[in-house]
């Protein structure tokens, strides 16, 4: 089905957290955009998608994804990563800058954007590297990166080293209208640790990361943030109760995200899943898990992002001490969120979806994330009551590194539209890649 034909999505439960819409009705899509929301009586020839018994919402948006290309295509490529995104219900992902070369100068950004136009199956926003070559010391030219097309700036896992450097990065972002995504980790407390330091690590005989590593880094960012103005700061992958409390006490402070795995798992998962439960920051305690859910419920944390970080099977087979940090998440994120937040009764469905649609769209100022006339027809249709079992061998991602293997989860992603074009139909990817102009 081409984007310029008219399509009606009929009879679904339409949920748009950004506008408060939640009712059973139709959506008319024409020329890549939403033409109307409401009972459709059009007489023109239509492609009809029956959404009876299903939820229709804006396509999911992930502000924290590692696509690995260029430089580590054995782990993931732009093509495989964005196909995995579509299969998980995402229509927009933002690629973190830990590639080789990094998106640290306009020429590198242009080269990566060309790869995206050639290979991507969904919209991709590039996040620029905060330092040249990710060296942690020499700030990149943020203006040049913005003008080249970057949607945000991040230090990713290459943390800035001084208050002055952090302050300068924030002020530059404020001047340019960019968000700075900060990786909150005090390396002097995390170095050498492969999981959360606590009773489980002691039982397993594994070196742990001190639980204060996150909150100490947050305190350093707060010191840099304090002063005239309110620089646009976003805290990546919040993982601790102490971090939540600091954020609550930070008046008019930054936005923050957490990841689905921190809502579903604790450090006990390492005993079962080994290196497939090794990520940074690490899985924490049950107290931390509950604090993160509470923070989502009260709005302290606004965004859920996957931190999708694929690695090869061989790398993860090296064991906890040698395996790299990171797990995949694009193909399981929605279902994990439904299980931990909605089925558990902690959040309404519309609230949970807001963390993956309206909130990330607002964070980056994206036109996606809404269902209203004139908005891009980036839409997700899923079956909330259907259950499926996670089989990593069936992932579209090259990564198999998931701690959710074998788990039964709710929420089958049925159909995804990107600019009005069906790119996933009844759970199967389309034969034809979306057009390059979408990126």
pLDDT tens sequence across 91-129: 999 999 999 999 999 999 999 999 999 999 999 999 999
Q: What is the pLDDT of residue 319?
A: 96
Please indicate whether residue 23 or residue 1 has the higher confidence score (pLDDT).
Answer: 23
- Which of 30-44, 73-87, 234-248, 267-281 has the least mean pLDDT? 30-44
Average pLDDT score, the chain: 95
Q: Which residue carries 């339409």 as its tokens?
A: 14
Cβ atoms 396, 416 nearer than 8 A: no
Residue 1 has pLDDT above 80, yes or no: no
144 sits in which H/E element: helix 142-148
Q: Which residues have CB under 8 Å from 162's CB, separation 6+? A: none
Question: Among the listed ranges 86-90, 157-161, 234-238, 423-427, which one has the minimum average pLDDT value?
Answer: 157-161
Which pLDDT score, from 0 to 100, does residue 279 have? 98
Q: b/e map of 117-149 (b: 16 or more CB within 10 Å)?
A: eebbbbbbbbbbbbbebbebeebbebeebbebb
The reported pLDDT for the residue numbered 45 is 62
Q: For the full predicted model, state whether its pTM sits above 0.95.
A: yes
Q: What is the CATH number of domain 7-56+375-429?
A: 2.30.40.10
Residues 6 or more apart in contact with residue 175 via CB below 8 angstroms? none
The H or E element containing residue 8 is: strand 7-16
Please state the separation of Cα 132 from the chain's center in Å.
24
The CATH superfamily holding the domain 59-364 is Metal-dependent hydrolases (3.20.20.140)
Tell me, what's the pLDDT at 436?
A: 76
- Statement: residue 42 has pLDDT above 70: no
The DSSP result for 300-356, as a single string, is SS-EE---B----HHHHTT-TTTSPS----TTTHHHHHIIIIIITTSS-HHHHHHTT
Helix (H, G, I), strand (E, B) or coil at 128: strand
Confidence of residue 415 (pLDDT cuts 50, 70, 90): very high
Give the model's pLDDT for residue 43.
60
State the Cα angle at 268 between 265 and 273, rounded to 5°: 80
Is 307 among the catalytic positions?
Answer: yes
* HSE toward the beta carbon, residue 41, CA cutoff 13 A: 1
Please determine, for residue 343, whether its predicted confidence score (pLDDT) is greater than 60.
Answer: yes
> Of residues 298, 307, 385, 425, which has the active-site annotation?
307
pLDDT band at 278 (very low <50, low <70, confident <90, very high): very high
Give the model's pLDDT for residue 229. Answer: 74
Are 88 and 331 contacting, i.e. CB atoms less than 8 angstroms apart? Answer: yes
pLDDT at residue 188 tops 90: no
Domains 7-56+375-429 and 59-364 share a fold: no
pLDDT above 90 as % of the chain: 90
Is residue 145 within 8 A of residue 153, CB to CB? The reply is: yes
Whether the predicted pLDDT of 413 surpasses 80: yes
Query: What pLDDT is recorded for position 416?
Result: 99
Question: According to the model, what pLDDT value does residue 2 have?
Answer: 52
Whether 228 shows a pLDDT value over 90: the answer reads no
Q: Tens digit of pLDDT for each residue in 323-342?
A: 999 999 999 999 999 999 99
Alpha-carbon distance of 287 to 72, in angstroms, equals 36
| Calpha distance 371→367 (Å, rounded) | 10
Region of 426 on the Ramachandran plot (φ > 0 left; ψ -120 to 50 alpha; else beta): left
In tens, the pLDDT along 56-75 reads 999 999 999 999 999 999 99
In the chain, what are the domain boundaries? 7-56+375-429, 59-364
CB 15 within 8 A of CB 350: yes
What confidence category does residue 167 fall into, taking pLDDT thresholds of 50, 70 and 90?
A: very high
Question: At residue 138, does pLDDT exceed 90?
Answer: yes
User: pLDDT tens digit string along 371-412?
Assistant: 999 999 999 999 999 999 999 999 999 999 999 999 999 999
pLDDT of residue 206 exceeding 90, the answer is yes
Mean pLDDT of all residues in 137-156: 98
pLDDT, residue 29, reads: 95
């Amino acid at each position: 089905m081409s984007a310029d034909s008219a399509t009606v999505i009929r009879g679904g439960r339409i949920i748009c957290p950004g506008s408060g819409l939640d009712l059973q009705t139709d959506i008319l899509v024409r020329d890549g955009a939403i033409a109307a929301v409401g009972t459709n009586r059009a007489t023109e020839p239509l492609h009809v998608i029956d959404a009876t018994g299903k939820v229709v919402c804006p396509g999911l948006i992930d502000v924290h994804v590692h696509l690995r290309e260029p430089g580590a295509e054995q782990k993931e490529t732009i093509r495989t990563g964005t196909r995995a995104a579509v299969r998980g219900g995402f229509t927009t992902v933002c690629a973190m800058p830990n590639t080789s070369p990094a998106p640290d100068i306009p020429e590198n950004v242009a080269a990566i954007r060309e790869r995206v136009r050639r290979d991507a199956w969904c919209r991709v926003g590039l996040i620029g590297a905060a330092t040249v070559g990710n060296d942690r010391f020499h700030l990149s030219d943020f203006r040049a990166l913005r003008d080249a097309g970057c949607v945000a700036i991040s230090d990713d896992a290459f943390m800035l080293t001084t208050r002055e450097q952090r302050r300068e990065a924030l002020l530059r972002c404020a001047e340019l209208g960019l968000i700075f995504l900060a990786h909150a980790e005090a390396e002097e407390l995390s170095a050498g640790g492969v999981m959360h330091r606590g009773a489980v690590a002691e039982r397993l005989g594994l070196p742990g990361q001190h639980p204060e590593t996150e909150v100490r880094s947050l305190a350093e960012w707060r010191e840099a943030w304090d002063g005239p103005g309110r620089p646009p700061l976003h805290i990546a992958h919040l993982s601790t109760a102490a971090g939540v409390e600091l954020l609550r006490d930070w008046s008019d402070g930054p936005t923050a995200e957490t990841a689905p795995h921190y809502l579903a798992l604790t450090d006990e998962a390492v005993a079962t899943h080994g290196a497939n439960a090794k990520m940074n920051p690490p899985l924490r305690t049950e107290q931390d898990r509950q604090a993160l859910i509470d923070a989502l419920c009260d709005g302290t944390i606004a965004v859920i992002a996957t931190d999708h970080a694929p690695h090869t099977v061989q790398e993860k087979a090296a064991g906890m001490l040698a395996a790299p940090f990171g797990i995949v998440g694009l193909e399981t994120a929605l279902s994990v969120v439904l299980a931990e937040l909605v089925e558990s009764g902690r959040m309404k469905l519309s609230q949970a979806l807001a963390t993956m649609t309206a909130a990330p769209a607002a964070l980056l100022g994206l036109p996606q994330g809404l269902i209203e006339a004139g908005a891009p027809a980036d839409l997700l249709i899923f079956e909330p009551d259907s259950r499926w079992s996670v089989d990593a061998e069936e992932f579209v991602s090259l990564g198999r590194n998931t701690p959710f293997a074998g788990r039964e989860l709710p929420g089958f992603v049925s159909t995804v539209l990107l600019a009005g074009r069906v790119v996933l139909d009844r759970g199967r990817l389309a034969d034809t890649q979306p057009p390059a102009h979408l990126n």
